Chain A
Amino acid sequence: MQNPLSNFTSLSQKQLAELDRTCGWSLNALELAEVQREFRKMGRQPSRGELETLAQTWSEHCKHKTFSGPVSFKSGSKVKKYKNLFKETIVKATKTLDRKWCLSVFTDNAGIVEFGKNGKWGLAFKAETHNHPCAVEPYGGAETGVGGVIRDILGVGLGAKPVLNTDNFCFGYLDSKKKLPKNSHSPERIMRGVVEGVRDYGNRIGIPTASGGLYFDDGYLLNPLVYVGCAGLIPTDKIDKKVVPGDLVVSIGGRTGRDGIHGATFSSANIEEDTSASAVQIGHAVNEKKTLDVLMRARDLGLYNAVTDCGAGGFSSAIGELGSETGARIRLEDAQLKDTRIEPWEIWVSESQERMILSVPKAKLKKLEAILNAESCEYCVLGTFPGDGQLLVTHGDEKIVDLPMAFLHGGVPNFEKKAARRKVKIIDGAPLQPAKTYGGILKEMLAHPNVCSRHSVITQYDHEVQGGTVIKPLQGKYGDGPGDAAVIWPQAATLDLNDFAGFAVTHGFNPAAGKIDPYQMALHTVDEAVRNLLCVGAEISRTAILDNFCAASPRDPEVMGDLVLAAEGCHDAAMAYGAPFISGKDSFYNQSKDADGKEYPIPLSLLISATAPVEDIRKAITMNFKEAGNPVYLAGVSRRGLGGSVYGDMMVAGNNYIAPLDMKAAVRMYTALLKAIKTGCVCAAHDVSQGGLAVTLAEMAFSGGFGAEIDLSAAGREKGLSALELLFGESPSRLVLEVVKDREAEFLKHVKGLPVGEIGFVNEEPLLDVNDGGVQLFREDIFALKTCWKRELI
């Protein structure tokens, strides 16, 4: 057979598609035609290495073609056109808000905001997904996901020191009865593998995994979602990087091998049975730790001008990105290899883990080498950044790539995607009255996988390494209460035990609401994240957020419609809360064929990761009840509807309405509450989210070892609200507060005119007694409630 590359420029569309499949590039017809046109223009045939480089550079993973592409959205008879959906929603909010404390947004590997008082530090934050690899090999997929996002932080600016890892997972229900297709793993196995992968990588590299979430829905049976995030500290004078022509290209960390071929293109294709074995790797945390230690020392000594991580696309992307203006001259024979059975073009695109690329002035190489050797970290000098704008890659005498950088980064064509509003039937009547008692429902709800304790996962992570996790994921009297946000005091980066500046990190996530109303889902998700930050006493006016969208195939107009609505919601919420997006990521094609051969898509899944400064970490508060006799307040108005609630998942609710969120009212109330928290008159705060008010009260009670006498008559509520909706509804912008009893008057001054009502007091007797205007709703022993809640998930 003739090598199709030798007459590439004259291949038919069908032949191109076939070649694309064989090589696993995942380029579409339009893109293939564009490549063909370019090489016709150059009057020569491409090499394999050049096509691989283009496929990697233009992949969904690297270019985010769907989200940053043109979209036509049809809603009823109206059509709205976007040229670049991402820029016109998410980026637009950030640009309009134009916050001074945003130091770097959307340009680098992570977003950076100001940290601390004296302008010395920046906080870099980034979240990623690693879904497809985790479906295929959960342990290795999770490990390399964590490793990848840590390298994003190491590669932002001139390198930030990671001080926190985050993890959010979505799995199918562990007891799901749905038949799985051949070759797919049970949700139990996926969860176990993913948790062990995050554990083994995060623990070994010494970064606390202290914030995250776990969500179950059968929509994730075949396509689990694994979001991994990392936050790090960077000196503000180390944010700018610039490759200087003449600099050496130095690769440090792991070696290059065949194990990393074809990951970038892999994330664009639906998972098929014959997924190639080499697409999944096992992580090498120890190598990454060496890299981290070297980078931090070399950064502070100013031994390199620029750095970036080797992620999707390997050398080709990392060097291509660093050298996008200067060009690069690379000699692949100088690469450190895992084994010699590897083609030169494979070295160029291999995604072997734990590698970073540095741009090193020749005069500083010796000093850098001394540090590398001292830390037993391997490295190789691959070539130079010449300054001529040309990418020239060779292996001995063989030319692997010879292309202008401009083509690589500018050429990708894009086409308009169709989007349409999904039709969902809303049932807005009074909910059906359940046969069970409210106490019985609460007990069942506390044991629901989306509500119950996460300790069996969290305790496997070293969430306190570096000694700075001052508000922990597990807190309270028994060290097992579910925290709203983690607060990090980065002493391992600042080296200053007298500086009490810290930051809070949390998440919002609500795909159940997204199935009904993607726009409101986005608002609720941002609201939840901001509210969680408020609960620990973080400076919410300085909230910065990350968006991570996971969706099914963008070829389905309804999937695109969900995305458009959620992106608009993101914009509106960011504006209302004054919370700019600083970085984001998206992952599409999260759908597979089920056992019957039918398409099985995930629900639209938007993870909002949020961070805000904590001025004095000593004053941050936890969620558990602290002292008998203290009054308890409910802030926020409870609204009608059980749409998207855990109750709706457990029972036949007869109502799937989602109340719209009044963001202005929420911001006004949160601002007042933060003042109250900062003056010290609030000693515990906990948000009302999954499971509703009853779950919030139960958690505060059993985490503190106190009961409470509650009468909800003073609780702000919408007219016609049923007791069921009051207890288990999940309408947004509500939280429960415990107020220090002799500072109640002061507290009331802060919340004057706001929907904040006293609903009872903390009680020594370990009973949660909840009434509404003289009617007892339930009365349960807090330890019995805790027993229901404290399930071992794995």
Chain B
Amino acid sequence: MLDAKIPAGDLNSKWTSYKDHCKLVNPANKRKMEVIVIGTGLAGASAAAALGEMGYKVKAFCFQDSPRRAHSIAAQGGINAAKNYQNDGDSVFRLFYDTIKGGDYRSREANVHRLAEVSGNIIDQCVAQGVPFAREYGGLLSNRSFGGTQVQRTFYAAGQTGQQLLIGAYQALERQVALGNVKMYNRHEMLDVVIIDGKARGIIARNLVNGELERHAGHAVLLCSGGYGNVFYLSTNAMGSNVTAAWKAHKKGAYFSNPCFTQIHPTCIPVSGDHQSKLTLMSESLRNDGRIWVPTKQNDTRKASEIPEEERDYYLERRYPAFGNLVPRDVASRAAKERCDAGHGVGTSRQAVYLDYAAAIERYGNIEAGKKDMHNVDPAAIVSMGREVVKEKYGNLFDMYEKITGENPYELPMRIFPAVHYTMGGLWVDYELQTSITGLYSLGEANFSDHGANRLGASALMQGLADGYFVIPYTIGNYLADEIRNPTPSTDDAAFVQAEKEVADRINTLKNINGTQTVESFHKRLGKIMWDKCGMARNAEGLTKAIEQIRQLKEEFWRDVKIPGDINEMNWELDKANRVADFIELGELMCMDALDRKESCGGHFREEYQTEEGEALRDDADYMYVASWEYKGNHNWDLHKEPLEYEVVKPTQRSYK
């Protein structure tokens, strides 16, 4: 039975009470405790830095050439915090409530409330580190709106918020490296977790420069390895983002929760051809000012500029007047798909909708004219002034769009379409962020805990930093306090020898297949199966078929994959083969989970379960649980259900109308 270890007491006092009563490790003992951190994104870098500052000995690993390159760096729009600086009625409770509702009532109240409680501390900490958030002329912090909320609580640094937050965490991490508290292992990939006497005690890592396998021992292991969106091949994730660390832990006994909960982001640059290697996000912040529309007529091939106002369907504003263009991501994505499926898509592929800035440019231009007390202004001058304002707010995003598409978004509406962006599912963790393996923790996107079936914008950065800076420093002590008598295990222990052998055998097997098809070709095929049958809309027939196809793909992969080069050298194809092999297995589990969940909620939309208006139809009586899967061998998993109990919020049908 899964025990989430939620502290007793009322919701407001749980975290305070936990902190007041958890065990502590004294400074002399902290120096003797070693913690291994996998991944250096916001969760990993902040955890490694914070634990180093506390005096623990930390070993941090990343597969990139520097910890600063982790994919958190690409987050654009912002980070939420319940500061109420805008005096618009925000509070810890409202942030908590919006996040629970946004997640379609499939996340834990206690975890989410804690997240909202520490959100303000994150902003303070980042400011102290020198994160240059956007400011108003008075020198105070600026905010903007994001989807699924009616207050302005998003802090930002132009369209590069993730970069600035990660650089802050990276610098804090490098400071600990300089002080000797953290040892950094760049270009290393974790390929297994080592378990001794039922506790995570180390890892096997591959040095990606020379191919050597290394054993690293510690008192605890933190997996901060990000999400698994690349199972779809095309996603907004970085090319190297992968599930391998989490998947290895899963196969060693860590439960994997809600794998089918994936987030399809509504505003990405559409696919342009078969060569496409990844998709690029256009920040949700663009929906603050942009208006989304399609032609009212089906199969309308006219240019956007030739379609008069009365023949444009601003379908989000029409369907959801209360939230308009700022409905949550799952709702906006499905609405775009619905319009395109109904024949209203635009662009050569007809798989796109318009995101139009003309109205915003005019509005801002008029405001500027008003500020300068200008009257009877030439419309061209209004547009010019408006463009300057838009450029200051979103300039880098507009530039990026132009580089990729070759079109000028100040003149033409942008074409956008939904794309895989984030995965709410992940390793099961309890309130302390510990997985079902003792001593193995998971932080940030790699765990499942805070976003339910749909994540609200600007909440991923908040969760990554909350877990790393403000949660794990307390909860890990509660475990390590009982480990102070145990020295770091020897890497000659039989468990290390065995784990290394298994990793080496797998690499040898892969390399010796000597087949005829590239790793990339398998990854593309997996991605197509997943996108077609386990993407924005799913049904029992498609999922059943997908499971069958993925099983065949797995068999074919292990019989016919072709990997060039040698094992004992830098070999990106081999690294990728290792990752794709794990994605294939994960894909099967995602489809099983999606098939098993006979309801629609958040990003999981089962076509069989929808309201008359085409909205997601939840089944709280039968599915208000966390689906946690235990690996039992090839194609075989056991399902464990952790019931979700709502003590404060009363689940209702989510409405953004």
Partners in one complex: no
Q: Measuring CB to CB, which residues of chain A are less than 8 angstroms from any residue of chain B?
A: none
